[in-house]
């Protein structure tokens, strides 16, 4: 029966042969030649062994395992340092995009994904990477919500302006109404004034929200308006639905739903 040896096995066998020859040379007085053979044998075995634990030349395997363990510890420390550094970098870049130092949306998106890939390559857990990305999610959701807020503010301003003009006409005598109409108008004026103040408070409080609550929050603001007619509120929900869907997609898929619109 023929016995086949792979190239790796042959080279490993050659390495063992050199170790034996080295031992023989050293035993019979050729210390220099023995050292050379030993070095050659060890090098061949190291380069072509898939599992260094299977051999132990003067404790060499143990030393290698120790070094590998040290390298793992260093990498773990690097992961620990990289997480807060990455979190700060993403937070600063995301806030710069919202305030004075405008960072283009596409550049910010690429920056966040680049950091995410680097962390993933270092073996950082997916949940830790997601935590680092949270500040970008929040900043992006707030930005995506702006068109919705503009529409809400627009409708409140329209009906509030109408109420102020009508109130001015009534007070100046330009418009005369009966008691029933006056009571109805007073109630409407109170509702639209409430909408204005309540909406202002909601906008201030939105920064304390979890970004995952934004779709519900935006729909509730529109539904809770009391001075805007129900028909107009229904039209508003249809008009802003794409923006709210963008937010929901980001929350559920961790990515941009309409890059052509968002990065325009």
Mean pLDDT (the chain) is 77
Question: 174: helix, coil or strand?
Answer: coil
Predicted confidence (pLDDT) at residue 70 exceeds the cutoff of 70: no
Query: How many C-beta neighbours within 10 Å does residue 236 have?
Result: 20
Query: How many C-beta neighbours within 10 Å does residue 222 have?
Result: 19
Range name among 53-57, 91-95, 99-103 with the lowest pLDDT average: 53-57
Mean pLDDT of 100-104: 64
Task: Give the position of tokens 């309540």.
Answer: 198
- Tokens linked to 11: 């080279």
Q: Compute the distance between CA of residue 82 and CA of residue 256 in angstroms, rounded to an integer.
A: 25
Range name among 91-95, 101-105, 163-167 with the lowest pLDDT average: 101-105
Range name among 51-60, 63-72, 206-215 with the lowest pLDDT average: 51-60
- Tokens linked to 107: 């550049």
| Cα 126 versus chain centre, distance | 10
For position 88, what pLDDT does the model report? 74
Q: Where are the chain's structural domains?
A: 7-58, 63-132, 135-262
Give the burial string for 132-152 (b: 16+ CB within 10 Å, else e): bbebbbbbbbbbbbeebbebb
Predicted confidence (pLDDT) at residue 243 exceeds the cutoff of 80: yes
Under the banding of pLDDT at 50, 70 and 90, the label for residue 16 is: low
Helices (H), 99-125: 105-121
Mean pLDDT of 94-122: 77
Write out pLDDT tens, residues 119-153: 888 788 899 889 889 989 998 998 999 999 999 99
Residues with Cβ within 8 Å of residue 124, at least 6 apart in sequence: 79, 82, 83
Query: How many C-beta neighbours within 10 Å does residue 244 have?
Result: 20
Question: 206: helix, coil or strand?
Answer: helix
Under the banding of pLDDT at 50, 70 and 90, the label for residue 158 is: very high
The percentage of residues in the chain with a pLDDT greater than 90, rounded to a whole number, is: 42
Write out pLDDT tens, residues 24-67: 444 444 445 545 554 555 554 444 444 444 445 445 555 555 55
Predicted confidence (pLDDT) at residue 96 exceeds the cutoff of 80: no
Residues with Cβ within 8 Å of residue 249, at least 6 apart in sequence: 255, 256, 257
Greater confidence (45 vs 92) lies with 92
For position 34, what pLDDT does the model report? 47
- Tokens linked to 231: 């028909």
Query: How many C-beta neighbours within 10 Å does residue 193 have?
Result: 15
Greater confidence (7 vs 190) lies with 190
């Amino acid at each position: 029966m023929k016995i086949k040896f792979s190239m790796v096995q042959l080279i490993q066998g050659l390495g063992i042969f050199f170790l034996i020859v080295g031992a023989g040379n050293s035993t019979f007085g050729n210390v220099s030649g023995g050292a050379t053979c030993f070095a050659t044998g060890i090098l061949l075995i190291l380069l072509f062994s898939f599992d260094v634990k299977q051999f132990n030349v003067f404790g060499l395997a143990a030393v290698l395992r120790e070094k590998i363990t040290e390298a793992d510890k260093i990498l773990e420390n690097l992961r620990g340092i990289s997480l807060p550094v990455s979190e700060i970098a993403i937070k600063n870049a995301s806030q710069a995009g919202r305030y004075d130092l405008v960072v283009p949306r596409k550049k910010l998106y690429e920056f966040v994904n680049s950091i995410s890939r680097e962390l993933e390559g270092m073996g950082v857990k997916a949940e830790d990477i997601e935590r680092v990305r949270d500040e970008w999610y929040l900043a992006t959701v707030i930005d995506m919500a702006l068109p919705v807020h503009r529409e809400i503010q627009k409708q409140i301003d329209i009906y509030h302006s109408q109420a102020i003009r009508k109130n001015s006409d009534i007070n100046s005598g330009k418009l005369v109404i009966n008691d029933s109409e006056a009571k109805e108008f007073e109630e409407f004026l109170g509702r639209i004034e409430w909408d204005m103040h309540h909406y202002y408070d909601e906008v201030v409080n939105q920064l304390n929200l979890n970004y995952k609550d934004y779709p519900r929050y935006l729909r509730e603001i529109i539904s809770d308006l009391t001075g805007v007619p129900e028909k107009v509120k229904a039209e508003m929900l249809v008009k802003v639905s794409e923006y709210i869907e963008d937010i929901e997609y980001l929350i559920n898929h961790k990515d941009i739903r309409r890059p052509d619109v968002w990065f325009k």
